Amino acid sequence: MSKKKQNDLKLSEKILNQIKESSKGFHFYEDIHKPLHQTAMSLEDFANKIKTIPSHSLEFHMKRGDFSKWVEDTIGDTKLARAINRINVSGEDLRKELSSTVGKRIEELRKAL
C-alpha cells in the first residue's frame, strides 16, 4: 500500500472515530447561554442530530461558523469544513443542505476505508 493511501486511510479513520472527551463534542445551543443539552460525539452522531435540532439553532451556529470550526479543529476534516462554509441558506433548507453535505462526506470516508 502506498504512503498516500495509508495516510488517507488513517485520516478517514480519525475523522469517523468517536470523540473521547465530552468537552470536545459539539454542544448545540439555541443562543448564547441557552444550551439544548444535545452533544454530538462523532461526525455520524452530528449528522443524526442535525436532522432533529431546531432550525433556529442550526442558523445560530452557522452564523458564528461553529460547525466548520468544530469539524476542522476537533474532527480534523478540512474538506468538510470548507464545504460547510459554502452553505448559504436558512431554515429547513439549511438543515437539508447541511445534512446532505455531511452525509455525502461520511459516505466518501467510509468508501476510503
- pLDDT, one tens digit per residue, over 26-63 is 999 999 999 999 999 999 999 999 999 999 999 999 99
* pLDDT tens figures, 78-110: 999 999 999 999 999 999 999 999 999 999 999
27 three-class SS: strand
> Which amino acid would we find at residue 7?
N
Instruction: Assess whether pLDDT exceeds 80 at residue 1.
Output: no
Outline where DSSP puts E strands in the chain: 26-31, 34-40
Q: What letter does residue 113 receive in the DSSP assignment?
A: -
Question: Within 10 Å of residue 28's Cβ, how many Cβ atoms?
Answer: 21
Instruction: Assess whether pLDDT exceeds 80 at residue 16.
Output: yes
User: Cβ(49)–Cβ(40) under 8 Å?
Assistant: yes
* pLDDT score at 2: 83
* pLDDT score at 107: 96
> Which amino acid would we find at residue 81?
A
